[in-house]
A and B are shown apart, each in its own frame.
Chain A
């Protein structure tokens, strides 16, 4: 038997290239990887299959339609809009504080104070959504109502602000980790060249931590898009795109909050169920797009 015919042999040679031998570790890990990939594939297939009747009966208006009346028509646009808007608001409100805070904690705070801030942030990052939702209901929404003179504080703004507060600890602590993981010798070399501390932070530490910071931000976006209960409690629950479209003081609806409200009552059959599954599919595709954009950005950010 020639050595190249035996895949178990160490270093089989094919056309002058050598391949490492494949031992038990290879096959065990490959098996687990296949199970994980298969599960994700089955999930996606199930979502597609279940939502197909709704997509077929509605056609494009499923994505573009503005009305959702159970038993008549199912238009997903208000929910897509609500999800995008709440997430965008969350980012706009949270990023300045999260990134500024991460830079401050990582670069300027003495070691002991840093550990205290970090442990508080990590604690907050683990608080369940329902707790944030209750606080949002009892404090944030009424506060927004009074501050802006609204009839009802439950609005896209309340949802966005609450999501911003929710993702802030995660984004901040992960960005801070990324900054801390830039080796000190780079900072020392830059300092020894006569750069100021600010210049060192922004032309050495931040650029090198950028892939990690971007990862933290995309994780935050993913969490904001998928958050259900906290949003459900403060977004207002009305399937409508406000006019003008940027009126964030109006109530709205996000995809998860819609699913959270209606999934139990329509469970299992009928076009309503299929339409809800279609919403789930849209949400899945949106989060996949975010992850994909994140990867693309990271590949470009790397030197």
Chain B
């Protein structure tokens, strides 16, 4: 065992909305500098798991969390957690691309502007840096001041990723980021995940098994709110131990 705590560690967690249990007996950890796929059919609880890690369910009606969830060693559902700081460390990309009705440039630095307003002078530089990291720079460098809404869906999704990158998170939660995109944008995002996982801990919810196989070292199979199987991607895909997993993978 080494000393640095894992980026995310979940111990016997249970999530319910208005008394209805959505996730139960969740027990897992995620490794640094690698991508973990969360797979499972729709309605199995992938989105809820990711949102729980960023405390994005707090405002939901009747949300209850039991168990322990550590991000970089500190318990986030304990007393005195600074939720805004936590979300600065845990970036989230949603299934549906969503850009603010502002220019491309303003979108790229939107989060940064609130965390480090004193660096206003550097924003154009920083925007370029993060747009490059999101593989979007070449496509938008001539229209930085146009409304972000004119970009294609795939470009908007990469802009959302650049916007999240700018805040400087160490953990990236991506909830089916390519589910509503065309093949070309999907490819661009997959390339992006490959480069993100060099430095970050990436959690990728997807029901595209090929994508999980291509991008991720670890796999977590979620079924009806429980983790049915987890382990290295090659092992889980080639030799699933669980009956349910085998059925899901073979469909």
Main SS of the interface on chain A?
helix
9-residue interface stretch from B68-76, B109-117, B222-230: B109-117
CB–CB A189/B87 < 8 A: no
In contact, A194 and B101 (Cβ under 8 angstroms)? no
Q: What is the chain B residue whose CB lies nearest that of A203? A: B114
For window 190-205 of chain A, which residues contact chain B by CB distance below 8 Å? 190-196, 199, 203-204
State whether B94 touches A194 (Cβ < 8 A): no
**A188 proximal to B (CB < 8 A):** yes
Q: A203-B114, A303-B102 are in contact. Are A192 and B61 (CB under 8 A)?
A: no
Q: Which of A185, A195, A199 has the most CB of B within 10 A?
A: A195
Among B114, B115, B164, contact of A192 (Cβ-Cβ < 8 Å): B164
Q: Which residues of A contact B167 (CB under 8 A)?
A: 193-194
Residue A208 lies at the interface, judged by CB distance under 8 Å to chain B: yes
A188: B residues at CB distance < 8 A: 56, 94, 98
Q: In the complex the two chains form, what is the Cα distance from A194 to B84 in whole Å?
A: 4
Pairwise interchain contact B92-A192, C-beta atoms closer than 8 A: yes
Does A186 make an interface contact (CB < 8 A)? Answer: yes
Q: How far is the CA of A184 from the CA of B147 in the complex (A)?
A: 20
Kindly report which residue of chain B lies nearest to residue A187, judged by CB atoms.
B59
- Report how far A238 CA is from B184 CA in the complex, Å: 74
Number of residues of chain B lying within 8 A (CB) of chain A: 25
Find out whether the CB atom of B114 lies under 8 angstroms from the CB atom of A186.
no
Give the residues in chain A near B111, CB-CB below 8 Å.
Answer: 193-195
Known: A194-B115, A194-B167, A195-B111. A189 touches B94 (CB 8 A): yes
Given the known inter-chain contacts A188-B56, A188-B94, A199-B114, please indicate yes or no for A193 contacting B100, CB distance below 8 A.
no
Q: Establish whether residues B98 and A185, one from each chain, have CB atoms under 8 Å apart when the complex forms.
A: yes
Chain A: interface residue total (CB-CB under 8 A): 17
Contact among B94, B98, B101, B114 for A195, CB-based, below 8 A: B114
Q: How far apart sit A203 and B86, CA to CA, in the bound complex (Å)?
A: 20
A192 near B110 with CB under 8 A, answer: no
Contact B160 A189 (CB under 8 A): yes
- A108 CB to closest chain B CB (Å) equals 11
B101 touches A193 (CB 8 A): no
A191 is contacted by which of B85, B87, B147 (Cβ under 8 Å)?
B87
Residue ID in chain A nearest B115 by CB atoms = A194
- Interface membership of B46, Cβ < 8 A: no
Instruction: Determine if A127 is an interface residue (Cβ-Cβ < 8 Å).
Output: no
**Contacts A111-B61, A199-B114, A203-B114 given: A193-B87 contact, CB under 8 Å?**
yes
The CA-CA distance from A65 to B115 in the complex, in Å, is: 58
Q: Is B45 an interface residue (CB 8 A)?
A: no
* Contact across chains for A185 and B96 when beta carbons are under 8 A apart: yes
Flag if A193 contacts B98 (CB, 8 Å).
no
Instruction: Output the nearest chain B residue to A303 by Cβ-Cβ distance.
Output: B101
Inside 8 A of B154's CB, which chain A residues have their CB?
A: none
Partner of B164, one of A193, A203, A208: A193
- Contact of B102 with A191 in the complex, beta carbons under 8 Å: no
Q: Is the CB of A204 within 8 A of B98?
A: no
**Given contacts A185-B98, A186-B100, A303-B102, are A194 and B88 in contact (CB under 8 A)?**
yes
A111 to chain B, nearest CB (A): 7
Query: Could you list 9 further interchain pairs (A-B, Cβ under 8 angstroms) beyond the known A185-B96, A189-B98, A193-B88?
Result: A189-B94, A189-B160, A192-B54, A193-B91, A193-B164, A194-B85, A194-B87, A204-B100, A208-B101
Q: Can you list 11 pairs linking A and B with CB atoms under 8 Å apart?
A: A185-B96, A185-B98, A192-B87, A193-B110, A194-B86, A194-B87, A194-B167, A195-B111, A204-B100, A303-B101, A303-B147
Interface residues of B (CB under 8 A from A): 54, 56, 61, 84-88, 91-92, 94, 96, 98, 100-102, 110-111, 114-115, 147, 160, 163-164, 167
